[in-house]
Amino acid sequence: MTETARTAAESAGKPPGLRERMRATVRAEVVDVAHRLFTEQGFDRTTVDQIAAEVGLSRASLFRYFGTKEQIVLGRLEESGRLIAEALAARPDDERPWEALRRSFDVLTRRNEQAPEQALTYLRMLQETPSLRAGHHEKQLIWQGLLVPEIARRLGVSPDRPEDTRPSALAAAALACLDVASTGWVACEGTVPLAELLDRAMGALSE
């Protein structure tokens, strides 16, 4: 629904259908192969044709699974956004928005603690490759869009009022802190816990 090319019988039909399952497995394998190649040779030095050939797919078909090369890498961020938004909605109503945002990021810090090595190489690639940095920021804008309504609700602000910049500002600033913390985490090679860097970052803004 977001931007991935979809089939006609998408999120509607109850029976998963053999076709849909095949599609999912192929997608997964593309992601696997591509990630291996990316970490081996770097994102830019890996061509789409190479990935397609390795998976045993035609170039054209690969582009039907993933609209762009970036999406192969950034696809998983879609889910992360939903998770953060859900976590935020689950925070108690009387919690201060800033604190609620901080806590909603724990779904990410926890995941990183569980597979630090993997997260480290993934984030490193994301930060070292300019085109991926750009795409990552686009995703963050989507995350921001997911978080803003809940922040607005907690602030008692009507959602679609572009002249009240407070909800967007809180969400955008929190995500900026998350980025700063992630960058620092990669720079430290993961020696300092991400949660701690994030605490310091967001703490600097709550006085």
Partner DNA sequence: CACGGATCTGATACTCGGTATCAAATTGAG
Partner DNA sequence: CTCAATTTGATACCGAGTATCAGATCCGTG
Which position among 39, 54, 63, 193 is part of the footprint of DNA (CB under 7 A)? 63
Pick 81 or 135: Cβ nearer its own copies: 135
Q: How many CB atoms lie within 10 A of CB 189?
A: 10
CA-based angle 202:205:207, to the nearest 5?
120
Q: Does 168 bind its own copies (CB under 8 A)?
A: yes
- What crossing angle do the helices spanning 106-114 and 194-203 adopt, rounded to 10°? 150
In angstroms, rounded to a whole number, what is the distance separating the alpha carbons of residues 13 and 180?
42
Q: List the interface residues with its own copies, window 135-164 (CB under 8 A).
A: 135, 137-138, 141, 162-164
Taking CB within 5 to 8 Å according to partner kind, which of its own copies, DNA, none is near residue 162?
Answer: its own copies
157 in Cβ contact with 166 (< 8 Å): yes
Q: List the interface residues with its own copies, window 63-102 (CB under 8 A).
A: 98
Q: List the interface residues with DNA, window 65-94 (CB under 7 A).
A: 65, 67-70
Pick 27 or 200: Cβ nearer DNA: 27
- Residue ranges with strand state E in 74-138: none
In angstroms, rounded to a whole number, what is the distance separating the alpha carbons of residues 97 and 152?
9
Number of residues that bind its own copies (CB under 8 A): 40
Q: How far is the CB of 74 from DNA (least distance, A)?
A: 11
Closest listed residue to residue 52, CA positions, set 44, 61, 43: 61
Q: Which two tokens stand for residue 86?
A: 């859900």
Span interacting with DNA, options 64-72, 164-172, 174-182, 198-206, rule CB under 7 A: 64-72
Taking CB within 5 to 8 Å according to partner kind, which of its own copies, DNA, none is near residue 24?
Answer: none
Q: List the interface residues with its own copies, window 95-124 (CB under 8 A).
A: 98
143 in Cβ contact with 136 (< 8 Å): no
**Site residues (vs DNA, CB under 7 A):** 7-9, 15, 17-19, 22-23, 26, 46-49, 56-61, 63-65, 67-70
